[in-house]
């Protein structure tokens, strides 16, 4: 059943439930407004605008209006650059694992303002990329692409932008049916906004697709809960803290990497690869080094690992 149908049924008067009897499907819960998560994509793009991620600078320059995390772009301190570095590294981690498969169909979920699909299609005529997010984000992104003149003529592969609520299984399957053959599904920055029930539902949908068609799921969303000390150390504006709290981001993270693997195993997936971060190659590294505090410079300890990118196969 699509979310739209669920929503319509959710509005049905309780009296009708009695009238139609026990067989009537009814969802009393308010449907979640996923679009409340979308402003985070803008904050990410503004940070990525300081990297060499394809098209990030041009698209970030088009962004107007307030930004939900209240990022301080005037005083770019160590913590600012560390975050930019994290998101740059996360972006490349997906490309790194994609390069290790030979599947040319790629579905990106919750892509935000990222133009990975456009970049891959500009370089490779064998790629069929479907770039998806919620309708408003996709409409904005299409406008940006048009505005920047990044049009079809420059593409060698096939790029499609499609609105998709990833939790809507029927819509998900309809998008997947646009591909011929196996498909790689990729995403970054979604699972930490989903509760356990939603994560399980998404896993089921993806598992069915991969079982039927072949391919793999590359997700950069293996975030583990941070210690209280780590949470206290990372400066956060009030608005960002409120946004994270509103969306239960810390609770939605995994208890640890083992717990994450157990979770995916229970959903019928096997972890087949993990991306290996290569900080030396990051465009933002010189900025980080300039502001690196002395104690970090002299530390023999590697920085704490807060996230991993995994390639999952349906077994």
Binding site for ligand SAM (CB under 6 A): 34, 37-38, 40-41, 44, 109-112, 114, 133-134, 137, 164-167, 188-190, 193
Q: Which is nearer to ligand SAM, 200 or 290 (CB)?
A: 200
Q: Which is nearer to ligand SAM, 38 or 89 (CB)?
A: 38
The CA distance from 143 to 64, in Å, is 13
Question: Which of 156, 148, 190 shows the shortest CA–CA distance to 54?
Answer: 148
Tokens encoding 5: 């149908």
Q: Measured from the CB of residue 189, what is the shortest distance to ligand SAM in angstroms? A: 3
Q: Which is nearer to ligand SAM, 67 or 188 (CB)?
A: 188
φ, ψ of residue 103 in degrees (nearest 5)? -85, 135
Q: Measured from the CB of residue 55, what is the shortest distance to ligand SAM in angstroms? A: 12
Q: Which is nearer to ligand SAM, 105 or 165 (CB)?
A: 165
Q: Measured from the CB of residue 218, what is the shortest distance to ligand SAM in angstroms? A: 12
**Residue-wise burial string across 15-52, b where 16 or more C-beta atoms lie within 10 A, e elsewhere:** eeeeeeeeeeeeeeeeeeebeebbbbbbbbbbbbbbbe
Helix (H, G, I), strand (E, B) or coil at 131: strand
Residue at shortest CB range from ligand SAM: 112
Listed in sequence order, the residues at least 6 apart from 99 whose beta carbon sits closer than 8 Å to its beta carbon are none
- The two most distant CA atoms of the chain are separated, in Å, by 72
Q: Which is nearer to ligand SAM, 122 or 140 (CB)?
A: 140
Q: Measured from the CB of residue 194, what is the shortest distance to ligand SAM in angstroms? A: 8
CB 166 within 8 A of CB 109: yes
Q: Which is nearer to ligand SAM, 225 or 247 (CB)?
A: 247
Q: Measured from the CB of residue 188, what is the shortest distance to ligand SAM in angstroms? A: 4
Q: Measured from the CB of residue 84, what is the shortest distance to ligand SAM in angstroms? A: 12
Tell which phi-psi region holds residue 279, choosing left (phi > 0), alpha (psi between -120 and 50) or beta. Answer: alpha
């Amino acid at each position: 059943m699509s979310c739209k149908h669920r929503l319509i049924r959710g509005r049905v008067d309780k009296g009708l439930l009695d009238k139609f009897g026990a067989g009537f499907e009814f969802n009393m819960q308010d449907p979640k407004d996923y679009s409340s998560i979308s402003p985070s994509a803008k904050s990410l793009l503004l940070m990525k605008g300081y990297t060499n991620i394809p098209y990030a600078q041009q698209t970030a320059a088009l962004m107007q209006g307030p930004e939900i995390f209240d990022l301080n772009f005037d005083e770019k301190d160590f913590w600012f650059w560390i975050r930019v570095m994290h998101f740059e590294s996360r972006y490349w981690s997906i490309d790194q694992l994609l390069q290790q498969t030979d599947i040319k169909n790629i579905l990106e979920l919750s892509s935000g303002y990222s133009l990975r699909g456009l970049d891959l299609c500009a370089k490779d005529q064998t790629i069929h990329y479907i770039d998806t997010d919620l309708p408003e984000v996709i409409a904005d992104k299409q406008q940006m692409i048009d505005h920047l003149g990044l049009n079809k003529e420059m593409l060698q592969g096939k790029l499609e932008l499609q609105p998709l609520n990833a939790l809507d299984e029927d819509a998900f399957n309809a998008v997947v049916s646009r591909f011929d053959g196996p498909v790689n599904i990729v995403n970054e920055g979604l699972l930490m906004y989903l509760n356990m029930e939603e994560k399980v539902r998404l896993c089921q949908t993806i598992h069915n697709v991969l079982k039927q068609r072949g391919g793999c799921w590359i997700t950069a969303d293996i975030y583990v809960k941070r210690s209280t000390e780590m949470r206290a150390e990372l400066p956060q504006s009030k608005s960002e803290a409120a946004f994270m709290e509103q969306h239960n981001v810390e609770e939605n993270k995994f208890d640890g990497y083992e717990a994450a693997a157990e979770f995916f195993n229970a959903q019928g997936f096997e972890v087949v690869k993990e991306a290996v971060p290569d900080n030396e190659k990051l465009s933002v590294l010189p900025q980080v080094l300039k502001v690196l505090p002395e104690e970090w410079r002299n530390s023999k300890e590697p920085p704490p690992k807060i996230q991993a990118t995994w390639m999952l196969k349906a077994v």
